[in-house]
Amino acid sequence: MIKPLIVTLLAAASLAAAEVPVSFDARVSEARRSMRASCQAVQKLPSASAAETPALERAATGSVATAVKLWTSLTEEYGKAVPEGYAGEPGWAQRLEDVRLDLVRMEREIAAREWRPAFLSCAHACAWITMMHEANGVTLAIDAMTGLRRKTGFLKGLVASRKPERARVLVKEVLAARDAVLLAPPPSGPTRDAYLAALPTLSRAADAVAEAARLGGELAKPVAELSAVVERVYELAI
């Protein structure tokens, strides 16, 4: 009698676990991962070789289709039912729809092989999600990492254009964005431990940039190293 009872209890536990609803934020993250996979493929396509192009096109097309499907489902469910933890500001439903429209546009542009417009549509959709969080008083790790990634990109551009003085002024903003990342709550999904483990490396990379700026040294190498770390941590934050 004991063995059947154990089997019954395990089955009940599995059923209960299966019935636990996936949170709104987790569903947003799932859609964003597909968005990013498509965007990464789109970025590579303009310079891809003839041998690389078919696989990249399949990746871009498949990932954006998944993102559209996931976000459409999310919009239909939460357009009128504001999720827990969100303020539900007046433009809530429209913000969800705006992201969906950008993803649909991106899908069309990929189908037409319009790589640059597709990339911009992806970036615009990500910006809408960040604004959605800001307008509803929500701060997630990915939002803080988006800010740091943007500042690091600006810094990298100034260094590449040989404007070291302007780059050194921007370092202060990069450090502030790094501090915002350290203060933001970590992601709650399966990448949480890896994300937390990567933060010290991220912080040291930002400090190395600051040290180079303070001593008047060459910024190209520490900025490139920071940019690489930022990209890795950004992936973990989604």
* pLDDT(115) > 50: yes
What is the CA 165 to chain-centroid distance, rounded? Answer: 30
Contact 205, 229 (CB under 8 A): yes
- Mean pLDDT score, 114-120: 97
- Mean pLDDT score, 162-188: 94
**Torsion angle of the four alpha carbons 80, 86, 92, 93, in this order, in degrees rounded to the nearest 10:** -30
| CA distance linking residue 76 with residue 70, whole number of Å | 10
Q: pLDDT of 11-70, one tens digit each?
A: 443 433 334 457 999 999 999 999 999 999 999 999 999 999 999 999 999 999 999 999
Instruction: Enter the pTM of the model.
Output: 0.82
Rounded mean pLDDT of the chain?
A: 91
* pLDDT(74) > 50: yes
Q: pLDDT of 203-217, one tens digit each?
A: 999 999 999 999 998
